[in-house]
Amino acid sequence: MNEVLSKEPTLSLPLTVKDIENTRINTVDFDNIPFGRVFSDHMMHCDYANGKWGNIQIEPYGNFSLSPACSALHYGQAIFEGMKAYYTVDGEVALFRPQLNAARFNRSAVRMSMPEFPENDFVETIRYLVAKDRQWVPKDANKSLYIRPYMFGNDAYIGVRTSEHYKIVIFTCPVGAYYSAPVTVTTASKYVRAFNGGTGFTKCAGNYAATLYPAKLEKEKGYDQIMWTDGLEHKYIHEIGTMNVFFIIDRVALTAPLDGNILPGVTRDSIITLLKDEGIEVQERPITIDEVMAAGREGRLTDAFGTGTAASVSFIRLLHHEGEEVEVPVDGQHIATKMKDRLNNIKTGREEDKFGWIVKV
Ligand SMILES: Cc1ncc(COP(=O)(O)O)c(C=O)c1O
Here the CATH number for the domain that contains residue 328 is 3.20.10.10
- Establish if 295 belongs to a structural domain: yes
Same-domain check for residues 336 and 277: yes
pLDDT above 80: residue 2? no
For residue 232, being part of any structural domain is answered with yes
Q: Among 133, 155, 178, where does a domain finish?
A: 178
Q: Does residue 38 sit in the same domain as residue 57? A: yes
Size of the chain, expressed as the number of residues it contains: 361
**Cα-to-centroid distance, 159 and ligand 1 (Å):** 31
Residues with Cβ within 8 Å of 68's Cβ and at least 6 positions away in sequence, in order, are none
The model's pLDDT over 10-50, given as tens digits with 9 standing for 90+, comes to 999 999 999 888 788 999 999 999 889 999 999 999 999 99
Please tell me the predicted confidence (pLDDT) of residue 294.
98
Q: Do 67 and 205 belong together in one domain?
A: no
Same domain, 98 and 152: yes
Bridge partner residues of 319 (DSSP): 185, 326
Q: Considering its fold, how many domains does the chain have in total?
A: 2
Final residue before a domain boundary, out of 163, 178, 193: 178
Residue ID of nearest Cα to ligand 1 atom 13: 242
Q: Give a yes or no: residue 102 inside a domain.
A: yes
- 265 shares a domain with 141: no
Pocket test for ligand 1, best of 96, 309, 343 (most atoms within 8 A of CB): 309
**Is residue 361 assigned to a domain?**
no
CA of 263 to the centre of ligand 1 (A): 6
Residues 50 and 120 in one domain: yes
* Ligand 1 proximal residues by C-beta, below 6 Å: 82, 239, 242-244, 263, 265-268, 307-309
For 294, phi and psi rounded to 5 degrees?
A: -65, -45
First to last CA, the chain: 8
pLDDT digits (tens, 9 = 90+) for 83-136: 999 999 999 999 999 999 999 999 999 999 999 999 999 999 999 999 999 999
Range of the domain at 153: 3-178
Q: Please write the tens of the pLDDT for every residue from 143-186.
A: 999 999 999 999 999 999 999 999 999 999 999 887 779 999 99
Report the candidate in 11, 230, 20, 15 with the shortest Cα–Cα distance to residue 135: 20
Q: Are residue 202 and residue 301 in the same domain, yes or no?
A: yes
* Predicted confidence (pLDDT) per residue in 206-253, tens digit: 999 999 999 999 999 999 999 999 999 999 999 999 999 999 999 999
Looking at the structure, tell me whether residues 88 and 223 fall in a common domain. no
pLDDT at residue 1 in the model: 38
Ligand 1 center to 8 CA (angstroms): 31
Q: Is residue 343 part of a domain?
A: yes
Q: Are strands 56-60 and 78-80 parallel, antiparallel or unpaired?
A: unpaired
Q: Which of 243, 314, 344 to mutate to test the pocket of ligand 1 (most atoms within 8 A of CB)?
A: 243
pLDDT tens per residue across span 93-106: 999 999 999 999 99
Instruction: Look at 171-180, 263-272, 347-356 and tell me which has the smallest mean pLDDT.
Output: 171-180
pLDDT of residue 7: 58
Atom of ligand 1 nearest to the CA of 267: 9
pTM beyond cutoff 0.75: yes
Domain boundary among 124, 149, 178: 178
Residue nearest to atom 12 of ligand 1 (CA): 242
56: domain CATH number? 3.30.470.10
pLDDT at residue 77 in the model: 98
Distance 209 CA to ligand 1 centre (A): 15
Residue 265 CA to ligand 1 center (angstroms) comes to 5
Q: Is residue 193 part of a domain?
A: yes
Centroid of ligand 1 to alpha carbon of 128 (angstroms): 24
pLDDT bracket for residue 65 (50, 70, 90): very high
Task: Specify whether 10 is located in the same domain as 104.
Answer: yes
Shared-domain flag, residues 30 and 103: yes
Judgement on whether residues 157 and 209 belong to the same structural domain of the protein:
no
| Long-range contacts (CB closer than 8 Å, 24 or more residues apart) made by 87-92 | 87/137, 87/138, 87/139, 87/348, 88/347, 88/348, 88/349, 88/358, 89/348, 89/349, 89/350, 90/349, 92/1, 92/349, 92/360, 92/361
Please indicate, yes or no, if residue 220 is contained in any of the structural domains: yes
Residue 318 lies inside a defined structural domain of this protein: yes
Same-domain check for residues 20 and 168: yes
Stretch 253-263: mean pLDDT, rounded?
98
